[in-house]
Amino acid sequence: MDVQIFGVKKSADTRKALRFFAERRVKTHFVDLAERAASLGELRRFAQKFGVAALIDERSKAFEDRGLRNARMSDDRWLELLADEPLILKMPLVRQQNRLSVGLSETEWASWVSTT
C-alpha cells in the first residue's frame, strides 16, 4: 500500500497524517506544497469527489491575507487559485489509489489500512 500526502511540514494535521501512516508501516510519498504545488489535475480529482468548497481552508492565514472571505468565483477559478496559492488548501490531501480524503481523517485512513 502506497499513500500520497499533500501538505506542508508546518501543518499539524499533515504531521499527524505522516505519523499515522508511519506507525502502521505504510509507505508514503509526501508532496510539500511549500516547495511544489499540486497540479491542477490532481486538485480536480479531489474537487470532483468533495467539491471545491471542501478544499478551501477558510481559517488559514493565506485565505484571510488575500481577502477571500467574500470572494465569489467559479469552481475553475478557485482551482486555479488553489494551484497558485496552496496554503489556502485544507490539509492534508491524502490519496491512496482511487481513495481520497481531505483534512485529518484517521478513521477513514484506518479503514484503508485494514482492507489491504
pLDDT number for residue 58: 87
Please state the domain extents for the chain: 2-114
CATH superfamily ID and name for 2-114 = Glutaredoxin (3.40.30.10)
Distance CA 78, CA 90 (A): 13
pLDDT number for residue 74: 83
Which residue stretches of the chain have pLDDT < 70?
116
pLDDT number for residue 1: 81
